[in-house]
């Protein structure tokens, strides 16, 4: 078990057990409210500054997700994102969960403003194609996150299953095309979170989110994806780093893509 700076365990006693049994675990308050406030402020400023080609390209539209698209790989151009992705607290939990050194593969920031669509149930390793093994996500809540504003839902136990061949999602409720229905006998359960909480989950775990139905609440989150050092291959979109920030290239696996293939835009509407 990893121990925090003040002698308190970062990963609760049952955290590793739950991760192994259910495919996910939540570490409450891993980041302080001041840290999260700064992260929100910097991404608000980034949005106000306009596009970052290849990473963040908002455009005028009636669709909230066109005005506030997700930021892809912000750690490649944004210093605070890089520090968060490589944070020692995340490393401590991840290495406890995986039982080995970890590499960082990806960062993302979601604004998810009021009225935004969600992302249909899916599996992250369908996109990253880590071989052997899988990826692990660290999903950092940057707002109070619940069912009303489109919090994450997970299907416990699916981490023990193979990757599923997705169906096509409903474009009215999901910005991404892929949809994995819960297997028979299993159901999606919501994960409510406070700012600074971190949800860690296995790359084969089926998860997703509903639209943000709130009138005035964003559902912002910072997500990092990680792999164990024993991984040999990953998709071409992912440039793996050690947790000290050094580039650690892996061979390319086949069939990979960015996390969630978006429905084709139809112009401003």
List, as one string, the DSSP characters of 126-174. HHH--BSS-EEEEEEE-S-B-TTTT-EEE-TTGGGSPPP--EE--TTTB
Segments in the chain forming alpha helices (H):
15-22, 33-49, 64-67, 79-85, 88-98, 125-128
| pLDDT score recorded for residue 157 | 97
Q: What is the pLDDT of residues 69-79, one digit of tens each?
A: 999 999 999 99
**pLDDT, greater one: 6 or 94:** 94
Q: What is the pLDDT of residues 15-41, one digit of tens each?
A: 999 999 999 999 999 999 999 999 999
Q: What pTM value is reported for the model?
A: 0.92
239 domain residue, yes or no:
yes
Rounded to a whole number, what is the largest CA-CA distance in the chain?
53
Report, as an integer, the average pLDDT of 206-235: 98
269 domain residue, yes or no:
no
Average pLDDT over the chain reads 92
Cα 263 vs. chain centroid, distance in angstroms?
19
Instruction: Express as a percent the part of the chain with pLDDT over 70.
Output: 91
User: What CATH number should be reported for the domain holding residue 32?
Assistant: 2.60.120.620
Structural domain span for residue 25: 19-252
83 domain residue, yes or no:
yes
268 domain residue, yes or no:
no
Report, as an integer, the average pLDDT of 188-194: 98
Confidence tier at 3 by pLDDT (50, 70, 90): very low
Report, as an integer, the average pLDDT of 224-236: 97
Q: How many domains does the chain have?
A: 1
Q: Are strands 251-252 and 178-179 parallel, antiparallel or unpaired?
A: unpaired
Q: Which residues contact 124 (CB under 8 A, 6 or more apart)?
A: 135, 137, 203, 204, 205, 207, 225, 259
260 domain residue, yes or no:
no
Instruction: Express as a percent the part of the chain with pLDDT over 90.
Output: 88
| pLDDT score recorded for residue 5 | 39
13 domain residue, yes or no:
no
133 domain residue, yes or no:
yes
User: What count of other Cβ atoms lies within 10 Å of the Cβ of residue 87?
Assistant: 20
Q: What is the pLDDT of residues 132-179, one digit of tens each?
A: 999 999 999 999 999 999 999 999 999 999 999 999 999 999 999 999
State yes or no: pLDDT of 4 exceeds 80. Answer: no
50 domain residue, yes or no:
yes
Q: What is the pLDDT of residues 196-217, one digit of tens each?
A: 999 999 999 999 999 999 999 9
Which residue has tokens 């998860």? 207
State yes or no: pLDDT of 68 exceeds 70. Answer: yes
Is cis: bond before 11, omega within 30 of 0? Answer: no
- Using CB atoms within 10 A of its CB, is residue 208 exposed (0-12), middle (13-18) or buried (19+)? buried
């Amino acid at each position: 078990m990893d121990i925090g700076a003040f002698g308190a365990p970062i990963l609760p006693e049952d955290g590793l057990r739950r991760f192994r049994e259910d495919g996910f675990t939540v570490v409450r308050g891993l980041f302080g409210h001041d840290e999260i406030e700064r992260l929100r402020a910097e991404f608000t400023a980034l949005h106000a500054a306009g596009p970052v080609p290849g990473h963040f390209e908002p455009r005028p539209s009636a669709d909230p997700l066109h005005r506030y698209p997700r930021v892809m790989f912000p750690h490649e151009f944004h210093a605070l994102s890089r520090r968060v992705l490589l944070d020692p607290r995340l490393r401590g939990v991840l290495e406890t969960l995986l039982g080995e050194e970890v590499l960082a593969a990806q960062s993302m920031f979601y604004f998810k403003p009021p009225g935004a669509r969600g992302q249909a149930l899916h599996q992250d390793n369908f996109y990253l194609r880590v071989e052997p093994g899988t990826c692990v996500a660290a999903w950092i809540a940057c707002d109070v996150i619940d069912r009303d504003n489109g919090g994450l839902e997970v299907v416990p136990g699916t981490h023990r299953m193979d990757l599923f061949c997705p169906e096509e999602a409903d474009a009215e409720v999901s910005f991404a095309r892929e949809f994995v229905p819960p297997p028979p006998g299993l159901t999606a359960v919501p994960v409510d979170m406070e700012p600074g909480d971190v949800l860690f989950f296995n790359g084969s775990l089926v998860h997703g989110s509903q639209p943000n139905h709130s009138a005035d609440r964003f559902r912002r989150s910072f997500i990092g994806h990680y792999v164990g050092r024993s991984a040999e291959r990953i998709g071409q979109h992912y440039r793996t780093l050690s947790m000290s920030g050094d580039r650690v290239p892996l061979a390319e696996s086949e069939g990979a893509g960015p996390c969630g293939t978006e429905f084709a835009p139809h112009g401003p509407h």
